[in-house]
Amino acid sequence: MDLTHNIIEYVNCCIGAFANRFSLTLAQSYAYLRRFKGIDFLIDCYAAEHTLSIEDAVEDIMLLCQKNGGRLGC
């Protein structure tokens, strides 16, 4: 598998885990993470983030989204 495929799989997994944590649909989770820069963060920081647990990644994107105006987890 190439790196792009791995990143896509990882981002999809994180979107699902984020949706589960906050009782969102996958579409709602994606829209929230896109709006508040969580998707960009996961892609830009893939090299480091994918070495952490999915729970840690969800925590990281939750905090990042909060810094960018998101209200989930507050």
- Predicted TM-score (pTM) of the model is 0.93
Instruction: Provide the number of structural domains found in the chain.
Output: 1
Mean pLDDT by 10 residues, the chain (74 residues): 91 98 98 98 95 96 97 84
Q: Which domain holds residue 43?
A: 3-67
| The pLDDT of residue 40 | 97
| The pLDDT of residue 32 | 98
User: Is residue 13, in this structure, part of any structural domain at all?
Assistant: yes
Please give the full DSSP string across the chain, using - where no structure is assigned: --HHHHHHHHHHHHHHHHHHHTT--HHHHHHHHHHTTHHHHHHHTHHHHTTS-HHHHHHHHHHHHHHTT--TT-
| The pLDDT of residue 24 | 98
| The pLDDT of residue 51 | 95
| The pLDDT of residue 73 | 80
User: Is residue 72, in this structure, part of any structural domain at all?
Assistant: no
| The pLDDT of residue 55 | 96
User: Is residue 63, in this structure, part of any structural domain at all?
Assistant: yes
